[in-house]
Chains A and B, each alone.
Chain A
Amino acid sequence: MGTSLSAPDQDDDFEDLAARTGFSLEQIGNLHKRFKHLTNNQSTLRRENFDSVTDLMWNPIRSEIIEAFFDTRNFQPGGTGSVREITFEEFLIVMSHFRPPELNMTSEQRESLRTKKLRFLFNMYDKDNDGKITLQEYRHVVEELLSRSGTIGKDTAKDIADAAMLEVASITVVHMEPDEFYEGITFEHFVKILKDIEIESKMYVRFLNMDTTTLCK
């Protein structure tokens, strides 16, 4: 499988990583291969390396996704700001946000998994790390989502973002005086409005145990 190139201490690293991120050894092996492929056998990943993933060009939120990999909040507890390059370990930690829930999880474990995933999503929206999603940031997200549709999107994007923000405010902070100002969506509000979507069951990517990366680019 994927560990033919590894020295004995790389195996230990993998074991350590498996213990910390929850991936299995085969999955880590596969992801390591992919990492090597993306970085052309370097040891660190840079933003430019993502240009080789052609399918990503179609993605309207491409820049947010790439930024998420370099955002220290996602792989260091209490980190701020973004870095220029990341190691395999940090890559793996970001990927571990997309692991599916296991069958025998307790409800607390599910809750914590859910919070972790929601935190990741929140960080993607909240770029300036002030702890809340302001109207500007929200508008930016909606505009990006509609960015493939030319001029039709631009006029309505603002409306949609405004309406959505209004809805969040109505649900979370039910009563506001007319001259109060709703600063932005905090993490608690974010959790509240998304409580109907089962994030932990929806936000996952199937990580392969078998080696099929040779079939894909």
Chain B
Amino acid sequence: MTLLSSRCRCSGTSIPAPFRGLLFLCALVLLLLSEAVEPLGASGSPGGAGDSSGGSHGLQKGCEADVTKSKHPTNRTKKPFPVLSFDYEHVKTPFEISLWVLLASLMKLGFHLIPRLSSIVPESCLLIVVGLLVGGLIKVVGETPPVLDSQVFFLFLLPPIILDAGYFLPIRPFSENLGTILMFAVVGTLWNSFFMGGLLYGVCQIKGTDLNTVNLLACLLFGSIISAVDPVAVLAVFEEIHINELLHILVFGESLLNDAVTVVLYHLFEEYAGVGSVSILDVFLGVVCFLVVALGGVLVGAFYGILAAFTSRFTSHTRVIEPLFVFVYSYMAYLSAEVFHLSGIMALIACGAVMRPYVEANISHKSHTTIKYFLKMWSSVSETLIFIFLGVSTVAGNHSWNWTFVTVTIILCLVSRVLGVVGLTYVINKFRIVKLTTKDQFIVAYGGLRGAIAFSLGYLLDKSHFPMRDMFLTAIITVIFFTVFVQGMTIRPLVDLLAVKKKQETKRSINEEIHTQFLDHLLTGIEDICGHYGHHHWKDKLNRFNKKYVKKCLIAGERSKEPQLIAFYHKMEMKQAIELVESGGGVKLPSAVPSTVSMQNIQPKKPPSDRAIPQISKGREEEIRKILRNNLQKTRQRLRSYNRHTLVADPYEDGWNDLLFKRQKLMEIEKKVMCVSVSLTHVPNWWLHSSDPQAYSSKPTSDDLPTIKVDLASPQSPDSVNLVNEFQKAATQNDPDDDGGLVMKVPFADKDQGEQDNKKEQQRLMRCLSDPGPGGDEEEDEPFLP
């Protein structure tokens, strides 16, 4: 090992060196450990694989001693107490798993350290190559590399990826294009399976290829395995090319929903391939089975989703375990669906999509972040492991290469995909308003990647029923390699070449939100006037039902009545406040649109002469104060719940929420004041220019904010606006209750100055950039149906 590290050190300062070194280190540790296992298992024969360091010999001698000692418990002669012993066996499995996960993550790190590599080659290709290398290394040493076990794949590696996809599924484009997606998923997959299976059978019958043993049902089974578009591969490749939302949701939705078809076809053909014939009754039962599998999966998922939403209603006192409920309920949904051989993927998607709007309304902001990051982390690790294991399994498996079979398979895959997409689009475009262009069709066809699900399904085949299983596996792996490498690598330049519309990177603004809602209501109204029960009508009905009954059950407290626009607005405010804190406060915020427009440019000036001065009644004032106090208390309640579980309450978050509500209250005061103002309607310029915006740091430690000190005879209202002093004042202040400065003129000037500061602050907040999440997540802002 010391030789290795010295070699690394003298290989110069190029970045790949430590990455290579890490790879070798990990691989070697793996090998060493797997060898060290042998002597222990074989109870005492001195180590046969004494390579590299001499240290291992010593260790082996030590474990020999231990083994012999444990074999003679009765004959307890006094031996020296073992200061250091080596017992690998009992941690073997978790240790190896952790090592694999570590290897996968280090590889991922390494790729991004190498400049330009990740922009040319998609990550999935690199990971498969790494898998090949590791598998090759293991084989060279003489061990058998592990093959991707289907159980492990379906139970542990696949669910995180699907849950991540389902939880963050953009509901709106998905539901708008549901018809198209279902057509591609169901009809497209059926077409692919039968076309490929049938033609393969025809090819197999040709004399001279010695494939005669492959009967029709086996071919159809193979066709059904290989024809399904794989969500893991699609996600891995499409995430990097950022195409527009419509195409992304079409291909991705198809890959998710074709699971039901694949499950049914697979089981159908597998059952009857041994028997040799399929009757009409079986076909009919197959169709019924498909409906049961698909709808059953969705129902199971929805049931668990509602349970999770209901549970999250009561978690306001135990915020720490909120993410756990999301994960466990979803996993239970998946497993429950698998018990009945229903479509686990559809269950998981349904669970995530159903629970999300209600859970997000109930859980705290921190739990929301936790869920987001955990899901992304797990799905990322899973994906990496899957691709690496694909590479390793390629090296490990027994292969039976048959040129004809493999090449015909690849060609047929492409041809059937293209034909299927073109034919289906022709039919679909008759019903779609926004039609799919040729460019769209090309991307949909080209994006049909195959992946690990096909491999795992092939691996599950019983060798006794399917003697040509090895040939199938070889062909499957070749197709996977072809689609991932060739199609995966070339899709990015093709997208650029064809100038396909890319994803809009802009953040959803409050204006767009208002107008989108307005448009929704408008279109619903027009549909009602036309007397036509269309898409908008049903969506509106669903929304009303949701608001009236479902939200009341599943969302805790006040938020069940909160309309979507307000929720969106609060979310935006909160986000900007947090960004302000995270950016350190002292640094001037990088603004998307540098603008000097502020609030007073918008408020209309009221000429004093032609307005009677209305007095605000005491009753109204009291009402306003009560509402504000309630809001303030509620927020305090939600944030304080971490104290019991040793999670320190974030002082920034507490302080900032207070600040936000103080700001809101101040704006209320400002409005009142505008009505009451007498002679200072036109605030003189020197008031406005005298404060330097740069000095507005929100550092809680500094207490010398250059506010305009107004020498007043009258007492300054305690809630006059020293932004920074709010933090210190928050402790001493109990009630936002002293609006003492209302009717006085001079404090009004001070308040107005404060208003001015506030507005600048608010305006600066408006210019904040988006949250730097993992890889630009847009979906989290996607609002559910109002």
Binding site for B on A (CB under 8 A): 31, 34, 37-38, 50, 53, 55-56, 58-62, 64-65, 95, 98, 100-101, 103, 121, 124, 134-135, 141-142, 145-146, 148-153, 155-156, 158-160, 162-171, 173-182, 193-194, 196-197, 201-208, 212-213, 215-217
Q: Are A159 and B664 neighbours in the complex by a CB distance under 8 Å?
A: yes
**In-complex Cβ contact of A167 among B522, B525, B766 (8 A):** B766
Q: Tell me the complex Cα distance, A158–B671, Å.
A: 10
Closest chain A residue to B525 by CB distance? Answer: A65
Can you list 14 A-B pairs with a CB-CB distance of less than 8 A? A53-B528, A60-B521, A95-B530, A145-B521, A146-B563, A155-B624, A160-B510, A160-B565, A166-B599, A168-B511, A175-B595, A177-B596, A205-B526, A206-B433
Alpha-carbon distance between A159 and B511 when the two chains are bound, in angstroms: 13
B579 within 8 A of A: no
Contact A61 B525 (CB under 8 A): yes
Q: Could you say which of B13-21, B180-188, B534-542 contacts chain A?
A: B534-542
Which of the listed residues B429, B510, B516, B597 has the most CB atoms from chain A within 10 Å of its own CB? B597
B594 at the A/B interface (Cβ < 8 Å)?
A: yes
Name the contact of B566 in the complex, choosing from A146, A178, A205 (C-beta under 8 A): A146
> Judging by beta carbons under 8 Å apart, are B533 and A178 in contact?
no
A172 vs chain B, min Cβ distance (A): 9
Q: Check: B462 CB closer than 8 A to any chain A CB.
A: no
Which among B532, B595, B598 is the interface contact of A174 at CB below 8 angstroms?
B595
B residues neighboring A (CB under 8 Å) = 429, 433-435, 437, 504, 506, 509-512, 514-519, 521-537, 540, 544, 558, 561-563, 565-566, 569, 593-605, 624, 627, 664, 667-668, 671, 685, 688-689, 762-763, 766-767
Question: Is A171's CB under 8 angstroms from B535's CB?
Answer: no
A59–B521 contact, CB under 8 A? yes
A162 to B670, CA, bound (A): 13
Contacts of A50 in B (CB 8 A): 529
Chain B residues with CB under 8 A of A101: 434
Candidates A95, A150, A167; contact of B510 at CB < 8 Å: A167
Assuming the contacts A150-B561, A197-B516, asked whether A167 and B688 have C-beta atoms less than 8 A apart, the reply is no
Contact, CB under 8 Å: A207 / B530: yes
Alpha-carbon distance A174/B593, docked complex (angstroms): 7
Given contacts A121-B519, A156-B569, A196-B512, contact A56 B595 (CB under 8 A): no
CB distance from A74 to the nearest CB of B (A): 13
A182 touches B569 (CB 8 A): no
Q: Which 9 A-B residue pairings sit nearest by Cβ, starting from the closest?
A: A170-B595, A65-B525, A55-B528, A100-B433, A216-B531, A169-B597, A149-B563, A103-B435, A176-B597
Contacts of A155 in B (CB 8 A): 624, 627, 668
Is the Cβ of B595 less than 8 Å from the Cβ of A204?
no
Chain B residues with CB below 8 A from A56, complex form: 525, 528-529
| Residue from B514, B536, B602 whose CB has the most chain A CB atoms within 10 Å | B602
- CA–CA, A94 and B521, complex, Å: 17
Residues of B within 8 A of A148 (CB): 563
Q: Is the interface of B mostly helix, strand, loop or mixed?
A: helix
Closest to B531 in A: A216
Kindly provide the distance from the CB of A99 to the nearest chain B CB, expressed in whole angstroms.
10
What residues of chain A lie closer than 8 Å to B509, measured between beta carbons?
167, 193
Q: Which residues of A contact B540 (CB under 8 A)?
A: 58
- Also in contact, A204 and B433, with CB within 8 A (given A146-B565, A182-B602): yes
Q: Separation in Å of the B379 CB from the closest CB of chain A? A: 29
Chain B contacts for A202, CB-based, 8 A: 519
Q: Are A142 and B514 in contact (CB under 8 A)?
A: yes
Choose among A150, A179, A205 the residue that contacts B530 (Cβ–Cβ < 8 A): A205
Q: A59-B525, A160-B566, A164-B511 are in contact. Are A179 and B685 (CB under 8 A)?
A: yes
Which residues on A sit within 8 Å (CB–CB) of B565? 142, 145-146, 160
Q: Are A162 and B766 in contact (CB under 8 A)?
A: no
Residues of A within 8 A of B597 (CB): 166, 169-170, 173-176, 182
* Smallest CB separation, B42 vs chain A (Å): 68
Alpha-carbon distance A149/B603, docked complex (angstroms): 26
User: CA separation between A142 and B330, bound complex, in Å?
Assistant: 37
Residue contact B528 to A163, C-beta cutoff 8 Å: no
Q: Does A205 lie within 8 Å of B519, measured CB to CB?
A: no
Q: Are A165 and B602 in contact (CB under 8 A)?
A: yes
Chain B min CB distance to A136 (Å): 8
Q: Which residues of A contact B667 (CB under 8 A)?
A: 159
Tell whether A194 pairs with B529 under 8 Å between CB atoms, given A156-B566, A170-B767: no
Q: Which of B531, B594, B689 contacts A37 (CB 8 A)?
A: B531
Given A152-B563, A213-B532, 20 further pairs, Cβ under 8 A: A56-B525, A58-B544, A61-B522, A121-B522, A145-B514, A145-B563, A146-B563, A146-B566, A149-B566, A155-B627, A156-B569, A160-B565, A166-B602, A166-B766, A178-B596, A179-B688, A180-B601, A205-B523, A206-B534, A217-B531
A182 in complex: contacting residue of B518, B524, B536, B601, CB < 8 Å? B601
Q: Which residues of B contact A178 (CB under 8 A)?
A: 596, 598, 600-601, 685, 688-689
Please state if B593 and A171 are interface contacts (CB–CB under 8 Å).
yes
Contacts of A177 in B (CB 8 A): 596
The residue in chain B whose Cβ has the minimal distance to the Cβ of A57 is B528
**Known A103-B435, A150-B561: A213·B602 in contact at CB below 8 Å:** no
User: Complex formed: what's the CA distance from A130 to B536 in Å?
Assistant: 32
B685 engages A175 (CB within 8 Å): no
CB-based nearest B residue for A62: B525
With A121-B515, A152-B562, A163-B766: A55-B537 Cβ-Cβ less than 8 Å:
yes
Contact B603 A135 (CB under 8 A): yes
A100, B435: Cα distance in complex, Å: 10
- Hey, which chain B residues are within 8 Å of A141, CB to CB? 514, 518
Q: In whole Å, how far is A150's beta carbon from the nearest beta carbon of chain B?
A: 7
Query: Contacts A101-B434, A170-B597; is A181 near B605 (CB within 8 Å)?
Result: yes
Instruction: Let me know if B562 and A34 touch, CB within 8 A.
Output: no
Partner of B602, one of A53, A135, A152, A201: A135
Residue of B nearest to A58 (CB): B544
Most chain B CB within 10 A, of A95, A152, A166, is at: A166
Instruction: Find chain A residues with CB under 8 A from B523 CB.
Output: 98, 203-205
B660, chain A: closest CB distance, angstroms: 11
Which residues in A have their C-beta under 8 angstroms from that of B603?
Answer: 135
**B430 CB to nearest A CB, Å:** 11
- Report the bound CA distance from A175 to B594 in whole Å: 8
A169-B601, A181-B605 known; A194 vs B563 contact (CB < 8 Å): no
Contact of B599 among A34, A162, A180 (CB under 8 A): A162
Closest to A177 in B: B596
A-chain residues with CB within 8 Å of residue B429 when the two chains form the complex: 103
Residues of A within 8 A of B515 (CB): 121, 194, 197
Q: Is the CB of A61 within 8 A of B518?
A: yes
What residues on A are CB-neighbors of B668 within 8 Å?
A: 155
> Which of B510, B530, B596 contacts A175, CB < 8 Å?
B596
Q: Which residue of A lies closest to B540 (CB)?
A: A58
Q: Tell me how far the C-beta of A44 lies from the nearest C-beta in chain B, rounded to whole angstroms.
A: 16
| CB pair B602 A162 closer than 8 Å | yes
Shortest CB distance B760–A (Å): 10
Contact, CB under 8 Å: A53 / B605: no
Rounded to whole angstroms, the CA-CA distance of A71 and B706 in the bound complex is 53
Say how far A151's CB is from chain B's closest CB, in angstroms. Answer: 8
Q: Is A53's CB under 8 angstroms from B529's CB? A: yes
Q: Report how far A36 CA is from B595 CA in the complex, Å.
A: 53
- Nearest chain B CB to A55 CB, angstrom units: 4
Least distance between B682 CB and chain A CB atoms (Å): 8
Closest to B436 in A: A103
A175 and B433 CA atoms in complex are apart in Å by 41
Q: From B434, B514, B689, give the contact of A160 (CB < 8 A).
A: B514
Given the complex of chains A and B, what is the CA–CA distance between A197 and B511 in angstroms?
Answer: 11
The answer to whether A213 touches B526 (Cβ under 8 A) is: no
CB-contact partner of A153 in B566, B664, B685, under 8 A: B566
CB distance from B208 to the nearest CB of A (A): 48
**Residues from chain A with Cβ under 8 Å of B534 in the complex:** 205-206
Whether A176 contacts B596 in the complex (CB less than 8 A), given A59-B521, A182-B601, A212-B532, comes out as yes
Q: Which of chain A's residues have a CB closer than 8 A to the CB of B593?
A: 170-171, 174
Chain A nearest CB, measured from B768 CB (Å): 12
